[in-house]
Amino acid sequence: MEEQIKRRLLDLAAQSDRIGTFTFSPFLSEAEYADFCAIERQLPPCGYTVWGGYPDAERVMIRFGDPERLGYEEPFPIVCLEIAPAQEKFADDLTHRDFLGALMHLGISRGELGDIPVSGRTGYLFCTAQMADYIGSSLGRVRHTTVHCSIVQTLPATFNAQTVPETVQAASLRADLLIAKVFHMSRSACESCFASEKVFVNGRAVSQPGMTLKEGDKVSVRGFGKFRFCGVTGQTRKGNLIVEIARFSS
């Protein structure tokens, strides 16, 4: 599957470069985007942009083509569908898994679906524009809850606060030290995460525990969570750094 994804992305980039038009990938998982980063040097000089429908999206789409070079702009074919209970007071407490399960029962390819942030009992599905009408007309129930779908232009204001600020203390800005502190794991467990390619920095798989994090880096450890490194705010009497992070809510 890894090689198949790489070949498909290389073909899309080559098509954009050859024909002089924008091409778009399906939605990619974090691991699939890491596969793309591994072949970045093999791409033709067509340029590319990454977007998932909102900042810090986990599942993203790649648009191949440079607007300056092509002389025009083409938006990403991404639509946000609000999936809301028809009657809030009778609704189940719905989770991301509930919404995804209902969508999978419709026989939709995962590549057509992006993130599904949840606020209360309402889900916000980012999907390809070509699937929006089908989902809107076919998805009538999530678990035991009757739902209705409508296209929205923006996420609710509650998603502006999707991270929780925290501070940790670390001897340095080495990735393994900060990850161990943030997720309360041993150094050996942390090293195992690097060895098994479970650590991603800005969407790219990282295998070097000793890499130094930079302000603004987004770190994800599969099975544990993700955070943004916001910077150093001070130093303890023992010389440890006081580091501010923003932990992403699950």
CA distance 127 to 37: 23
3-class secondary structure, 173: coil
**pLDDT at site 29:** 92
pTM for the model stands at 0.84
Residue 19 has pLDDT above 70, yes or no: yes
Give mean pLDDT, residues 94-103.
Answer: 94
Q: In 3D, which of 185, 186, 188, 161 has the Cα closest to residue 247?
A: 161
**Max Cα–Cα distance, the chain, nearest Å:** 62
Residue 13 has pLDDT above 90, yes or no: yes
Instruction: Identify the residue whose tokens are 């525990």.
Output: 209
CA distances from 133 to 23, 130, 150, 156 (A): 22, 7, 9, 22
Residue 1 has pLDDT above 60, yes or no: no
**pLDDT at site 161:** 56
Residue 107 has pLDDT above 90, yes or no: yes
Residue 93 or 158, more confident: 93
- Structural domains of the chain sorted by starting position, each given as residue range(s) with its CATH number in brackets: 2-70 (3.30.1370), 78-160 (3.30.70.330), 162-248 (3.10.290.10)
Q: Assess contact for 114 and 55: CB atoms under 8 A.
A: no
Give mean pLDDT, residues 57-73.
Answer: 95
Phi, psi of 136 (to 5 degrees): -60, -35
Confidence of residue 111 (pLDDT cuts 50, 70, 90): very high
**Long-range CB pairs of 140-144, under 8 A, 24+ apart, other chains included:** 141/102, 142/83, 142/92, 142/94, 142/98, 142/99, 142/102, 143/92, 143/94, 143/98, 143/102, 144/92
Residue 155 or 198, more confident: 198
Q: What is the pLDDT of residues 159-215, one digit of tens each?
A: 655 788 999 999 999 999 999 999 999 988 999 999 998 999 998 889 889 999 999
**pLDDT at site 59:** 95
3-class secondary structure, 108: coil
Q: What is the pLDDT of residues 113-132, one digit of tens each?
A: 999 998 888 999 999 999 99
- What share of the chain in percent tops pLDDT 70? 97
3-class secondary structure, 18: helix
